[in-house]
Structures are given as C-alpha cells and as structure tokens.
Structure 1
Amino acid sequence: MRRCLFSLLLTGVWTLLSAAPRPDSSLQRLSEDPFWLLLGHYQHDSSGRWYSHVNDKRFFLAEQGAKDPYAELLATLEGLYKPMTLGDKHPQCVYPARTHWLRNHLKLDDLPALPCDNYRQWYHTIDPHSAAMVFPAAFLNSPSSIFGHTLLRIDPSGMKDSGSALLSYSLSFGANIDDADNSLLYAWKGLMGGYPGLFVIQPYYEKIAEYSRLENRDLWEYPLDLTPDETARMIEHVWELQDTRFDYFFFDENCAYRLLELLEVARPGISLTGPFSLTAIPTDTIRAVRDADMMAGVKYRPSRERELMTRIKPLNHDEQQWVSKLAEDEHYLQDPAFLALPVERRALIQDGAYRFIRYKVTSKERDADAARRSYSLLQAINRDSPPPLEIQRPERPESGHKSRTFEFGVGSREDRAYAEYGLRMAYHDLVDNLKGFPLGAQIEMFRAALRQYEDNHWQLQRFDLVNIRSLAPRGELLKPLSWQVTGGLQRAPGDGDDEVLVAHVSGGAGFSRQWSDNLLGFAFATARVEHNPDFGAFLGPAMGFDTGLLWRNTFGNMLLEADSDYFHNGEIRRRIHLTQQLELTDELGLRLSAKREFSKFSEPISELQLSLRWYFF
C-alpha cells in the first residue's frame, strides 16, 4: 500500500514538472530580460536590489514578486497552466501581455486555450490601431495642472477613414485625489507620494471636454509612429494594470513618466525613462519622445477661452461692452444704437457674445435662459455671418527651453564683490527665455543659490521650495484673479550691512492688465510670515504690496518691480529691482539685474549682478 501511494506521489510530481517549464539558469536569465522587467515595472534600488514601482500586492502572483523578478516569472509560468475552470480570473486572462510574450519566447504551444471574454470584449471596444501623445497646456489656476499634463490617445482601426478622433480612447495616469483636500494639502501629498496613482482609460471626447472646455486649456496632439502590433502590445499591458496602484509623486513618478514606460513596452529596446530619475516634467518628456523620432506630426486644439479672446481682440472698448450686453440680454439685438453699427462690426460682436455665453456656462448645468440667449444670437449670426475665426497657433510647448537651469553670476553688493552659483530643478520664471511659454507665468521649484564673496566667505543666498506667479490679465469680459505664492529660505537685511537667512512663506493676490501684446502691468496685496533670528518673536507677520511691469522687448524680457513689507514689530522693508534677460539661444540666457533695498535695520543697499543661465535638461 505504501509503495502504491509513493508511486502515485512520484507520478503527480512528474506530471507537474512536465506541465510547466522547470526553473533553471535559462529562466533566471529570462527574468532579467529588459521586457520582462518592463512588464513588472522593476528597477534597481541604491543597493542594487530589485523593486517594482507597482505598489499593489494584487499585481503579483509570487509572494515576493514585487522584489524578485525571477520568483514572479516562475509564478507566472505556473499560473499559465492552471485549470481552465478559473475562467476570466485565469492568469492568461489577467496577464495577456505576459502570456503573449512568454508563449512566443518559450514556444509554449501546449498552453490551454481560454476565451477570456471580459478581456476580448474590452480590447474589441477599444480596437487599438495607432496612438498619439496629447499635452493639455499648463493651467496655473489649478495646482494639479501647473506643469501641464500628458496622456495617450488610442485610435481605432477606422481612424484614418473617418478623420475624427472622437471615437478614440484616452489613456492617462493620475493621482487618486481626495476631494476634501485643499490646494496646499494636495501640493504636499503630491510631493511626498501621499496619493496612489492609477491608470484610467475613457472615451477621448470626455477628455476634450474636460481640458479644452472645463479647464480652458489648449490641447496639443502628437501622432506617434507606433505600428498596430506595437499599439496592441501596449494595450495588452494596460489591461494588466487596471485598478493597479502605483505611488504617485508630483515631480518624477507622475503622468509623464508612466506614459513613457508604456511607450517602452510598445517598442522594446527604446529607452525613454532613463534620464528622468529625478524629475519628469511633461514638456521634457514630450521632447524625449520627439528626440526618439516617434512623432509623426502635430495638431493644435485651441480652448474656448482662446477662441473667445481671438474673436474679441479686434473689437474696441465700446464694442466689447456690446458683447457683454448681448451675452446678458438678447433684446439688445434690437437696440437702435446697436443696429446703427456697421454690419461687419455687428457680426463680430454677435459671434463674440455667443462665444462668451458658451464660455461662461461650460462647467454648469444646462441653463434654459442661457440656451435661449444663445439661440437668439445664433439666429443673428446666421443673418450676419462673421469671417472665419483664424487662430494663430502659439509656439509648440516642447520648443521652449529645458526645465533644469544652472546659473553662474558675478556681481557686487555695495563694495563687496561676489560670485553666485545657482541651480533650479524646474522650470520657468517671468523673465526666462519666452519661446514656448505664456507671458506672465512663473513656476519655480527647488531653486538654490550659493554666493561666494571675495574674502572666500560662502553663504546660502536662497532656497525656494516653490515660487509660483500667475499674471492673468483682466479685460472687458474676463476678469481673472492674479496671484503668487512662494516659500523657502532667503537673505534679508540684518543689523548693519549683514544679511540674515530667514525662512518665510509669502503670497499675494491682485490683478494684471495687458496694455499691449508685449506689456503687462500687475499689482498685488501681499502677506508674509517670516522666521527671523533678529526678531524677538518666533514668527513675524507682515502685510504689503507688490507692483511692477513686465515688458517683452527685442532682446528678451524686462521686469521692473517694487514691493514693500510692513512687519508687526515696526520693521519696514522696501525693494525696487530691474531685471533684463538677453535671449542668446533657446538654451542660453544672459541676465542683468539691479536692486536697491531699504530697511530700518540698515542703510540702503545696492546690488548689481550679471549672470549666465544655461537650461540644460
């Protein structure tokens, strides 16, 4: 009896070993194949051990699969031969990209054939044939969108025949945000990895509405030269990642980085993510795809706001007032004063009023009153048709300067000469080279400056965690709020001629006015909280103002600015400074700045600096 049981046991073990490939040195080598590592999102840590970016145990079949590509490979091979009774939960149905690759690589002709109905139906609905990278432009009034965003558009096989992308699907990666979190909490969690990241696939027309309509963001679409097989391979892997949690970091492991990983899966052997170990700014990743010769063109979709502003730009002050009146009350269409205007001017005004209504109701529930006014205006537009709307396409976002900046400067503070060395991880300030950026937008993060005085005295001059300014100009119709916020360490006037390093958080709100295409004025009411060793209290609050002019000239950008802080302890700090950037090339700028500071702690101090800025990554 024992011999019989032992024989049966040996027979069972032999059957299992025969049914699946045995772990050996060839499988060990296979687990180190770059494509297998891509499918598991594996990387080496600082000690050389493997780890996966996937932060979800459900993604792995092996207990140690998140840290052991070999164990996960063996568990996958075993899973592929599991009973067919598992249905759609069978590993073949859950991991089609793994199954496809292992079947072809190991010639697994004896794999059981499963229908995988759920996967097949999902895949058939998407019908992947080609893909495009999409960049919704930066939107400063949304903290989650200050760098812009990237997503992929998956086009069906009939895309070329129809010429419309409305039947396509969008594929994006983003943070799963708690709606109760405010902007500051969002920024903190985003920087520290406090949100899980998920892939989402949805109809593309919903994304068009979300970005170009709801958030009034321009869209840039870059068709990619992926073949149908490459696109299919990528979508197979996307199915494996559904509802799978990743860590989300605002600066590196973000939407842009994850999409580069998918493109590496689509085209094995291409390296896109390598340079982005520290930061992955969307425009930089678009540039990486361009430099890899994966782009097959570009298409620009202007937002409703840009369409509105383009239409009303030729109108004078009084005509823009008519736009506002008609948008509020369609009965002004019969006003004798309006009817006295030339027909061609009325046509522009009516079209502007219609676009203004559509702009205002974009994110709201359907309004019967707005619908009635829109219909009346459409009737008037049909009677007096305006000329076609021609929107000048702005510079492509990836044509601008790179995100990281190194700065070397020389200057003098009163009678002391110095050299200054600066590094900024991201991304753009008001007077940087403007190509590819909007006038009046500033987003800086992790900017540091070290100063070396002539007596070899070194000091940290400043360290900005964040420095954001949005100079959104107000007009006759749109009246956005301009704002700024900054926080970090900086030098402030101290006793005598000394400077003291203070920690601060500052912010302000106000308005901006565009006097011409190249001249922008602004004024803010500001608030500041500062930890200053020279103050008696631990924290010193202050109120103040900040005003200035930003001028786009022949050589570059010039900023003239004056600001003042009035502290609770009687300290009054004023400053006026002038900065001119000379745009030498797309990646080089020469900056001249002059500053005059006034403080109750010291005599007025003048500072002059000339610096070279290199946008290198």
Structure 2
Amino acid sequence: MKRIFACLASCAVTLAHASAPAFDQQRLQALADQPYWIALGHYETGKLGGWRSYVDDDKFFLAAEGAHNPKAELQATLNALYQSADLADRHAQCVYPARTRWLREQLELTDLPQPVCAEFDTWLRDIAPHSTVLIFPAAYLNSPSSMFGHTLLRIDQADVDSHNTALLSYALNFGAFIEGSDNSMLYAWKGLMGGYPGLFALVPYREKLAEYRSLENRDLWEYRLNLSEAETQRMVTHVWELKQVRFDYYFFDENCSYRLLELLEIARPGLELTDQFPLTAVPTDTVRAIKDAGLVERIDYRPSRERELLGRADTLDAEEQTWAQRLAEDPQQRDAPGFQAYPAARQALIQDTAFRLLRYRTTGDARNPEDVRNSYELLSAISRNPPPPLTLDRPGLPEQGHASRTWQLGAGSRDGKAFAEYGLRMAYHDLADNAYGFPLGAQIEIGQLKLRQYEGNHWEVQRFDLASIRSFTPRTALLKPWSWQVAGGLERVPGSDGEPTLVSQINGGAGATWQLGDDLLGFTLGTVRVEHNADFAAFVTPAVGFNGGLLWRNPLGNLLAEARADYFYNGEVRRSLAVAQQWELTPALGLRLGAQRDFSQLGEVENTLQLELRWYHY
C-alpha cells in the first residue's frame, strides 16, 4: 500500500492546502488516551511504562515517534487530514479511513478537504461488508501452525443467507508471512520465537474453505456474530489501513486469534476482549471469550471430507467397504457379478462411499485424467441411483471444552514416601483430560512444570515438558493413518543411588492405532529416545523401545493404560506400567487417580500412587 508520511512534507510546500486548525492540547491528549484511539494504533502498555504498538512497521505511523506516542500520532494524523485533496489516493483520508472517520466524529471536522479515494472505494465496494462470521477450523495435529486450531473472520454481503452466497464472501485472516519453504521443525521454532512477521489478508472465502476443510481435512465451525452492518464496515475499513503492514507474530500470544480480538474491539467500541489474554491466546479460549461477550447469534458446523467419508463408510459392512475401495480404483467394477448381487439401495451407499474415497485421496494432487474419468463415472452412477442424504452427529462445541491452562494439585506416595505435587501446564490437553470438545486420541501439551514436596520439606523438579504431542488416529479399512508422538524436556527417572535423577531428553515414535470399540482405542508405537543422564558415561545416550496401551472414554471420564520400554545403547533397560483414570467433575475441574510401576537395571522397582485435582482456566 502506498503510504504518505514521507511525502507529505514536500507536498505541503508545492500544493495548495487548507491549514489544520489549532486544537486545544489537553483535548488532544484526552483523545489520544481514549481506548478507541489506542485500539486504532494497536498500542499496549510498555513493560517499563508508556506505550508501544504491536505494529512492527514504520510505514504505519505518520509521526516519527508514533509507535510509542499515541498523542504524537494523533497530531500528525490531524495535520495530514488537511493536506491538499490533489493527493487523491495518497491522501491520509484515503490511506487511513478509520482514523479519519473517528477524528471527524470526535472533533466535528466539517472543513476537511474532499479527496477522491478511488482505490479504497473500489476495494470496499467489491467486499460489500454487511455482516461477520467467526470461523474456527478445528485443531489439526499434523500441521505445526494448526495444532491448536485457528480463527479467521468471514465478511458476508447482504444477500448471503437469501442467495446462499457464502462462497462469494471474503475471509479476513491474520497469519505468519513465510518466505521460502521452512520445514515443520524450523517453522514451529521460528513461530514460537517471533521469527516471522504477521500480516492481515483478505482472500476469497472459498479458498480458505478448500484449504482447511479439504486439504487439511478439518471440521469448520462458523459463529455468526451479531455485529451490525455499520460495525462490520468499521472493522473492514480499519483492515484497509493494515494492508501489507507487518506485526510481530508469536504462536501463543500475538497470533491469529489475538489480532482478531483487536479487530472486534474496533468494530464495537467498549468491548474488552484482549485484556483477558495477557499471556497466551489459544484459539478455543478466544472463541469462548467472544461467545461470553454476547457476540454470537448462531453456530453452523461444516464437517471435513474425512468425517463425511467415515460417516458414510460406517453404514457399510467389511465386504461392502472392500467393494468401495475397488470402485474408487476402477468404477468398471460396478459390472462385476459380486457388486450386482447387492440390492440397489446398498449399491447406492457403496458407490457414494467410493466417490468420497476417491475425492479424499486426490485432494491436493495435480489434475489427473484417470481420476477425472473415474470421478465422472462414479458421479453418473450416483445420479442414476442416489443414496439417502448423509446425516452426521455434530461433535461437541470446541469452546465448551475445558480451558487451555491447567493448575494441578496432587498428593501421593512413592515407595512409602509421601509427597505433595504442584503443577502448571500452559496448554493444552492430554489423553486423559476432560474429553468434551476434544477428539479421542489427541494430545498437545506445552510448557508443563511439576514440582514435588516430600516429607521434611524436600523439594524436587519432577518434570518440565517443553512439548508433548501425541496423535493416535485409528486405522480403518479405508484410511490407514500413522500414529505418532514427540516430546522433549526434563523428567525424573530411576537413578543408580536408589533415588530418581533428573535427566534431559527428547523422544518420538510412530506406529498404529485401532478402534477396538465405540470409545476404546488400542495403540502401539516403536520409539526412539536420546537422553542426557549424569549416571551414564556418555554425554548423550540413545535408546530404542516401544509404547503401547489402551485409551477408554468411559462414563466417568477417560482411562489411559500404557506400557513403555526403553533399551539404551549402554545396556540400561527401563520399563514402566501406568494407569490413570480421570473423573470429569465439571468442565473446569477434573480428578485423576494414577498408579505407576517403574523397572530399571540401575535401581529397585519403584511404585507410585497419586491423586490429583486439575483446574482448567485461562
């Protein structure tokens, strides 16, 4: 976007313009201190006092000290508003329409020049903002940027419901701007450390819908907000001011969700959403805050292609699913005697499943003539023998699940030694946590610290997890995803002197998960581990092993039982058996009973029993 702060001085000399009137400085200071001006400049209170703007881009500011001086920026904006109308699209009124509107209202500016803002007017007319929908694509563990879900806004035109034109709407998104092709690990690290700039973008909603619902196979939740047309236009007008303007971007606080909360505060003055997130802004928590603020008037659900495929396949038996696979690979198999032996109603279900499977497999691939031909043949068969409409149960609302931050208070015994345990997890969910709103078999834990206090006031760091991620998606006859896990941090393991020793480690594994019942998963993985242990001669020692177990969602909550083993290169063998049952007392409270038995060649067998209260909040 063209900015004007560098050229206004020269233009002021060469172009005739009206002089900005003199305003009372106390009045200007009062305006600069108003929450709405602070929101327009994306200011926050500095750690050492004063102000700083989240905007990390000099071209956003008209005053040299505008990034940390709201009054100077306000004065510079007023001066710029009175520049000659001949500047046209370069005029401050065209570049900063949201600032202009607010200052005109607050100061009753009736004598402003009237520049022609052709670029802005065309842009706004094309978007035609009338109403706003908050979009929440559900969490997707296989993408580092989407592990906690994502939020964006859909800007609808006036006829979106009457003409069903949501696909013609625009998506307002804030995300990391990535140049090049960083791998997943580098992306995660740079995202955590602010290594990417963040940018706002308005793109056709159909592109975002294809990206999240099809390419990444994520469920979409659409929260229609009760913003008026004027409020929606006010927000979109400010977005024009932010085109190509860079912000700092951090996964856990200054992220997509936090920036959208700022926009909603622009849309409806008086909202206080960002103040609720001083440390982290996990997407589900921000959705909950928006809902609690009374902004949501309707919720719609769009299942992913994967969920639709599995929902249709659930109506088939094993042999029929085999036929669906055959038809997806070769639609001519419809003429086989085995398929023709099925009643027409069953053929319709098999053909529809085959088409959904073919579409799922080819999503994101280059256009292939054979796939196009097969899709056409299956669609033709479906049109001649249509199946009944697909109906799916709507999963639990994500914002009604537990909050992301968790405080833990426990008491237990390790080999007869009583202890109290105190824990804090910054985010987000483990396999045994309160389950509503979360998929079975998904775990993302970031920044977990556990401290133990033994008798005699002896304190120990029990563990500190930088990250622990587990994805246990069950294999089916049609889909065969890998299960995987990765973790790293500090933990206590059996030591050579009979006392647990604190080690640093990273580990990971891959394997498979099976659906053993409606709410029962069984999993097994091969694992690798690298550990720094003071009891070992080498600085780091590798190990291979396995991890297997059961996860059961039962009437009380979740039960997790698992066995682990690590076989180290230096000969050490470490094994453990553990079981934990969580009782879901309320959405914000859980009570967990756990027992663990550890075996190690370095020491005696250790038995631990613990009862833990878990409080979820943000």
**TM class, shorter-length:** over 0.9
Q: Counterpart in 2 of 1:263?
A: 264
Equivalences for residues 497-516 of structure 1 within 5 A: 497-516=498-517
Name the CA shift for 1:542/1:27 in 2 (closer, same or farther; >3 Å): same
Superposition deviation, residue 192 in structure 1: 0.6
Q: Counterpart in 1 of 2:556?
A: 555
Superposition deviation, residue 70 in structure 1: 0.9
Q: Counterpart in 2 of 1:249?
A: 250
Q: Counterpart in 1 of 2:7?
A: none
Q: Counterpart in 2 of 1:156?
A: 157
Superposition deviation, residue 374 in structure 1: 1.5
Question: Please, which moves more after superposition, 16-25 or 169-178?
Answer: 16-25
Q: Distance in 2 between matches of 1:389 and 1:144?
A: 31
> Do residues 43 (structure 1) and 44 (structure 2) align?
yes
Q: Distance in 1 between matches of 2:161 and 2:340?
A: 46
1:23–1:74 contact (8 Å) kept in structure 2: no
TM-score for the superposition, normalised by structure 1: 0.96
Superposition deviation, residue 17 in structure 1: 9.8
Q: Distance in 2 between matches of 1:410 and 1:526?
A: 31
2:18–2:84 contact (8 Å) kept in structure 1: no
1:378 is aligned with what amino acid? Answer: L
> Do residues 125 (structure 1) and 155 (structure 2) align?
no
Q: Counterpart in 1 of 2:316?
A: 315
1:488–1:503 contact (8 Å) kept in structure 2: yes
Q: Counterpart in 1 of 2:386?
A: 385
Q: Counterpart in 2 of 1:167?
A: 168
> Do residues 30 (structure 1) and 34 (structure 2) align?
no
Q: List per-residue Cα deviations over 1:255-286 (Å, max 9, x = no partner).
A: 00000000000001110000111000000000
Q: Counterpart in 1 of 2:576?
A: 575
1:558–1:580 contact (8 Å) kept in structure 2: yes
> Do residues 304 (structure 1) and 305 (structure 2) align?
yes
Three-state SS of the structure 1 residue aligned to 2:526 is strand
Superposition deviation, residue 528 in structure 1: 0.8
2:17–2:83 contact (8 Å) kept in structure 1: no
Superposition deviation, residue 19 in structure 1: 3.0
Q: List per-residue Cα deviations over 1:488-542 (Å, max 9, x = no partner).
A: 1111110132111111111111111111221101111111111111111111111
Question: Please, which moves more after superposition, 435-444 or 527-536?
Answer: 527-536
1:600 is aligned with what amino acid? Answer: Q
Superposition deviation, residue 189 in structure 1: 0.6
Matched residue count: 604
Q: Distance in 2 between matches of 1:323 and 1:569?
A: 50
Q: Counterpart in 1 of 2:525?
A: 524
1:234–1:265 contact (8 Å) kept in structure 2: yes
Equivalences for residues 173-572 of structure 1 within 5 A: 173-572=174-573
2:255 is aligned with what amino acid? Answer: N
Q: Distance in 2 between matches of 1:432 and 1:300?
A: 24
Q: List per-residue Cα deviations over 1:59-98 (Å, max 9, x = no partner).
A: 0001111011111111111111112222211111100000
Q: Counterpart in 1 of 2:9?
A: none
1:461 is aligned with what amino acid? Answer: Q
Name the CA shift for 1:175/1:18 in 2 (closer, same or farther; >3 Å): closer
Q: Counterpart in 1 of 2:5?
A: none
1:200 is aligned with what amino acid? Answer: A
Q: Which runs of 5+ in 1 are unaligned?
A: 1-11
Three-state SS of the structure 1 residue aligned to 2:77 is helix
1:532–1:538 contact (8 Å) kept in structure 2: yes
1:616 is aligned with what amino acid? Answer: H
Equivalences for residues 111-150 of structure 1 within 5 A: 111-150=112-151
Q: List per-residue Cα deviations over 1:190-238 (Å, max 9, x = no partner).
A: 1110000000101111111111111111110000000111111101100
Three-state SS of the structure 1 residue aligned to 2:161 is helix
TM-score for the superposition, normalised by structure 2: 0.96
Q: Distance in 2 between matches of 1:552 and 1:481?
A: 21
Q: Counterpart in 2 of 1:89?
A: 90
2:85–2:116 contact (8 Å) kept in structure 1: no
Q: Distance in 2 between matches of 1:81 and 1:17?
A: 6
Question: Please, which moves more after superposition, 38-47 or 15-24?
Answer: 15-24
Q: Counterpart in 1 of 2:6?
A: none
Three-state SS of the structure 1 residue aligned to 2:129 is coil
Q: Distance in 1 between matches of 2:216 and 2:418?
A: 48
Q: Distance in 2 between matches of 1:485 and 1:23?
A: 61
2:17–2:82 contact (8 Å) kept in structure 1: no
Q: Counterpart in 2 of 1:106?
A: 107
2:18–2:82 contact (8 Å) kept in structure 1: no
Q: Distance in 2 between matches of 1:94 and 1:42?
A: 19
1:496–1:603 contact (8 Å) kept in structure 2: no
Q: Distance in 1 between matches of 2:17 and 2:222?
A: 51
1:251–1:281 contact (8 Å) kept in structure 2: yes
Superposition deviation, residue 366 in structure 1: 1.6
Q: List per-residue Cα deviations over 1:522-572 (Å, max 9, x = no partner).
A: 111111111111111111111111111111111111111001111111111
Q: Distance in 2 between matches of 1:587 and 1:402?
A: 7
Three-state SS of the structure 1 residue aligned to 2:274 is coil
Q: Counterpart in 2 of 1:7?
A: none
Q: Distance in 2 between matches of 1:310 and 1:380?
A: 20
2:535 is aligned with what amino acid? Answer: D
Superposition deviation, residue 365 in structure 1: 1.8
1:213–1:362 contact (8 Å) kept in structure 2: yes
Q: Distance in 2 between matches of 1:219 and 1:392?
A: 14
1:116 is aligned with what amino acid? Answer: C
1:167–1:203 contact (8 Å) kept in structure 2: yes
1:223 is aligned with what amino acid? Answer: R
Q: Distance in 1 between matches of 2:331 and 2:452?
A: 63
1:201 is aligned with what amino acid? Answer: L
Q: Distance in 2 between matches of 1:469 and 1:591?
A: 20
Q: Distance in 2 between matches of 1:16 and 1:306?
A: 62
Three-state SS of the structure 2 residue aligned to 1:166 is helix
Q: Distance in 2 between matches of 1:238 and 1:447?
A: 37
1:405–1:614 contact (8 Å) kept in structure 2: yes
Three-state SS of the structure 1 residue aligned to 2:27 is helix
Q: Distance in 2 between matches of 1:366 and 1:265?
A: 43
Q: Counterpart in 2 of 1:5?
A: none
Three-state SS of the structure 2 residue aligned to 1:502 is strand
1:570 is aligned with what amino acid? Answer: G
Q: List per-residue Cα deviations over 1:143-163 (Å, max 9, x = no partner).
A: 110000000010112223313
2:445–2:467 contact (8 Å) kept in structure 1: yes
Q: Distance in 1 between matches of 2:104 and 2:555?
A: 62
Q: Which runs of 5+ in 2 are unaligned?
A: 1-12
Superposition deviation, residue 397 in structure 1: 0.6
Q: Counterpart in 2 of 1:607?
A: 608
Q: Distance in 2 between matches of 1:64 and 1:17?
A: 25
1:211 is aligned with what amino acid? Answer: Y
Superposition deviation, residue 23 in structure 1: 5.9
Three-state SS of the structure 2 residue aligned to 1:162 is coil
1:318 is aligned with what amino acid? Answer: E
Q: Distance in 2 between matches of 1:323 and 1:249?
A: 44
2:221–2:299 contact (8 Å) kept in structure 1: yes
2:185 is aligned with what amino acid? Answer: L
Q: Distance in 2 between matches of 1:231 and 1:379?
A: 43
Superposition deviation, residue 16 in structure 1: 9.2
Three-state SS of the structure 1 residue aligned to 2:297 is coil
1:21–1:77 contact (8 Å) kept in structure 2: no
Q: Distance in 2 between matches of 1:43 and 1:21?
A: 28
Name the CA shift for 1:410/1:135 in 2 (closer, same or farther; >3 Å): same
Three-state SS of the structure 2 residue aligned to 1:87 is helix
